[in-house]
Chains A and B, each alone.
Chain A
Amino acid sequence: MLRNVFTKWLWDARRSVLVWTLAIVVVGGGYAAFWPTINTPGIQEALESYPQGLREALNYDDLSTASGYLTASVYGLIVALLLVVYAVSAGTRIIAGDEEASTLDLILAHPVSRIQLALQRFASFVLSVVIIVSVFWLGMLALIVPAQLDDISTGQFAAMHVHLVLFTSFFGAVTYATGAATGRKSFAIGIGSGVGVLGYFAQGIIPQLEGLEWVENLSPFHWLIGGDPLRNGLQVGDCLLMLGLVGAVVMWGSWAFSRRDIAV
Chain B
Amino acid sequence: MSDVAISTEGLVKDYGPTRGLAGLDLEVRTGEVYGFLGPNGAGKTTAIRLLLDLIRPTRGKAVVLGLDPRTDGVVLRRRIGYLPGDFAVDGRQTGAELLTYLGNLRGGVAAARIDELAQRLDLDLGLRIRTLSRGNRQKVGVIQAFMHEPDLLILDEPTSGLDPFLQHEFSDLAHEVSADGRTVFMSSHVMSEVQRTAHRVGMIRDGRLVTVERVEELRERSMRKVEIQFGGPVRAQSFVGLPGVTDLRVNGSVLRCRLDGRADALVKEAARHTVVTLSVEEADLEELFFHYYDQSDEAGGAA
Contact = CB atoms under 8 A, between A and B. Distances in A.
Do these two chains interact? yes
A127 to B, nearest CB: 18
Nearest to B144: A106
Interface in B49-104: 49, 52-56, 73-75, 77-78, 80, 82, 84, 86-90, 92-93, 97, 100-102, 104
B229 interface: no
Contacts, number: 64
B101 A8 contact: yes
A46 interface: no
A101 B73 contact: no
A264 interface: yes
Contacts of A5: 105
Contact of B89 (A3, A4, A106, A112): A106
Contacts of B53: 108
Contact of B100 (A2, A102, A106, A264): A2
Contacts of A4: 104-105
B95 to A, nearest CB: 13
A264 B77 contact: no
Contact of B74 (A3, A101, A112): A112
Contacts of B97: 2
Contact of B77 (A101, A111, A262): A111
A118 B124 CA distance: 32
Nearest to A4: B104
Contact of A107 (B56, B87, B105): B105
Contacts of A107: 105
A12 interface: yes
Contact of B105 (A12, A102, A110): A110
Interface in A154-194: none
Interface string A96-129: 0000011101111111110000000000000000
B45 interface: yes
A261 interface: yes
Interface string B186-229: 00000000000000000000000000000000000000000000
Most buried by A among B45, B56, B105, B107: B105
Contact of B104 (A2, A105, A113): A2
B54 A262 contact: yes
A106 B82 contact: yes
A5 B101 CA distance: 9
A245 B228 CA distance: 79
Given A4-B104, A4-B105, A102-B88, A108 B54 contact: yes
B106 interface: yes
A112 B87 contact: no
Contacts of A8: 101
Interface of B: 45, 49, 52-56, 73-75, 77-78, 80, 82, 84, 86-90, 92-93, 97, 100-102, 104-107, 144
Interface of A: 2-5, 8, 12, 101-103, 105-113, 261-262, 264
